[in-house]
Every structure is written in structure tokens, then in C-alpha cells.
Amino acid sequence: MRKVSVETLKAWKSETCLDPALPSLLARYRLPCLVASGLRLEGVKKMFESKLDEATLIEV
């Protein structure tokens, strides 16, 4: 599983497909977030099976 901090995500700004408001919301409510690419269906399936090697954890 890859990991990225909220601060790093904020610095990336338009370099990601995530909603630009997401980092601020995660920081405000102190919520971690698990992200998987919808372009790789197998990765999404693995995430739901608790096989998180295809996911990225956004840490607060």
C-alpha cells in the first residue's frame, strides 16, 4: 500500500484526479482515506477484499 500525507496531497493541487476540497476535509475532520484507481477494476476488487496492495492511504 502506498501512503501519502494530507499536506503532500494539498501541494499536488491539480496533479491529481481527486476533488481539490478532499485534503482540507480530511484534515478538518481528522479522517484517513483509502483510494483505489477506478481504471483498474482488479485493484478496486482487491481493496474490498482487504488486499490493500493496490490502494493509496491518505494519512492525516
Range(s) of the domain holding residue 50: 2-59
Tens of pLDDT, residue by residue, the chain (60 residues): 889 999 999 898 778 888 989 999 999 999 999 888 878 888 788 777 887 777 888 898
Structural domain count of the chain: 1
What does the pLDDT read at residue 32? Answer: 92
The amino acid at 16: T
What does the pLDDT read at residue 30? Answer: 95
Selection from 18, 31, 49 nearest residue 10 by Cα: 18
Kindly report each contact of residues 50-54 with a partner whose C-beta sits within 8 Å and lies 24 or more positions away, as own/partner: 52/1, 53/1
